[in-house]
Amino acid sequence: MQHTDQWKPYKIRWIPAKETWTVDRKTTSPGSWYLMSLLAKPYSTLIRSHAQGRLLDLGCGPVPYWPIYRELVTENYCVDWSDSLHENVHLDLAVDLNQAIPLPDQSFDTILCTDVLEHIHQPQQLMEEMARLLKPGGKALITTPFLYRVHEEPHDYFRYTEFAFQAMTRRAGLEIVHLVPYGGYPDALLDLLFKGLQNHRRLLGVLVPMAQWLGRSRFFQRLRQRTARKYPLGYCLAAQKPH
């Protein structure tokens, strides 16, 4: 990773006093405040449970999850499009992620690919590239949205179900060790509402905390759990390359 001294929080921020991750409102659009507060925990759990060794941050953008994994890995290597919409001062390599990645076979113990796969028009090819780049026993950590608005158009191509991931990883020769949806029906409704109100920052400053308070209720959590498989906001996946 280049220019670590220039790194700044993006999307999420660690709160030491509470020992938790929370949304960074300065770098997240108001319409995504609620969503980011939901995915901070499952994303950090995925990364902390599986990241190790030499890590490839694939489609890294401004490397928002570096604080989560930096103490767990020996090195992080950052790859993204050269014309990404995000800052790219941290890039070690600029490539077209729809093409073969010019790195040697079995180079990494962990590959992190967060909210990238929906922007790839050859997703199976990228999945197979990840399998090629992993060492035996290494893991690909992938997150993607599902019930989510069109974004970064025109480069928004796919949404994936758990069944798509099962088929894609199997074809790439990877074995799923963790596949969990996050969010559920009430979260999808709230996220859709807040996306429509994203230009009303002051209003969302009131509504989002109310929704977060409601989300801590037992009824809301039970409803989320019952509906997560049918109405997921997205998925967290860890897939391992066999030894």
Q: What is the pLDDT of residues 200-242, one digit of tens each?
A: 999 999 999 999 999 999 999 999 999 999 999 999 999 999 9
What is the reported pLDDT for 241? 98
What is the reported pLDDT for 87? 60
Fold of 4-240: Rossmann fold (3.40.50)
- Percent of the chain at pLDDT exceeding 90: 86
What mean pLDDT is predicted for residues 18-46?
90
Q: Quick one: residue 154, left, alpha or beta (phi over 0 = left, psi -120 to 50 = alpha)?
A: alpha
Residue 45 has pLDDT above 70, yes or no: yes
Residue 27 has pLDDT above 70, yes or no: yes
Strand 73-80: give its sheet, edge to edge: 93-94, 73-80, 53-58, 108-114, 134-145, 234-240, 175-182
pTM: 0.94
